[in-house]
């Protein structure tokens, strides 16, 4: 099911926002599990990762709401294609940070 979502996230802004929220929520839950269930967990590092997750989510949601070049169809498509790549890149970066916690 998740693989199908990746294919259709460009269908509309609402779907893209939902995808961002779900992705960041999964990362947040992973980090929260680390804080709660890992013995001798580095709480400060986990808090920094959680702060990064929230900041990233807010930035990406703002970028979805504002697009550039409504008159030129190619610019809009390129804008959302880059946004899509940024979402995946940031999610992978945060996931690696969580994995490096312990």
pLDDT digits (tens, 9 = 90+) for 1-46: 344 344 445 568 899 999 999 999 999 999 999 999 999 989 999 9
Calpha distance 23→26 (Å, rounded): 5
Confidence (pTM): 0.84
User: Residues 20, 60: contact at Cβ < 8 Å?
Assistant: yes
pLDDT for res 3: 41
pLDDT digits (tens, 9 = 90+) for 37-89: 999 989 999 999 999 999 999 999 999 988 766 777 788 888 888 999 999 99
Element (H, E) at 2: helix 2-8
């Amino acid at each position: 099911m998740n693989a199908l979502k990746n294919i259709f996230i460009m269908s509309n802004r609402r779907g893209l926002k939902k995808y961002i929220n779900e992705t960041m929520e999964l990362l947040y839950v992973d980090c929260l599990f680390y804080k709660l269930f890992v013995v001798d967990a580095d709480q400060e590092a986990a808090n920094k990762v959680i702060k990064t997750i929230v900041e990233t989510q807010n930035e990406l949601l703002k970028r979805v709401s504002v697009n550039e070049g409504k008159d030129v169809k190619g610019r809009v498509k390129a804008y959302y294609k880059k946004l899509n790549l940024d979402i995946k890149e940031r999610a992978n970066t945060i996931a690696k940070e969580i994995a490096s916690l312990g």
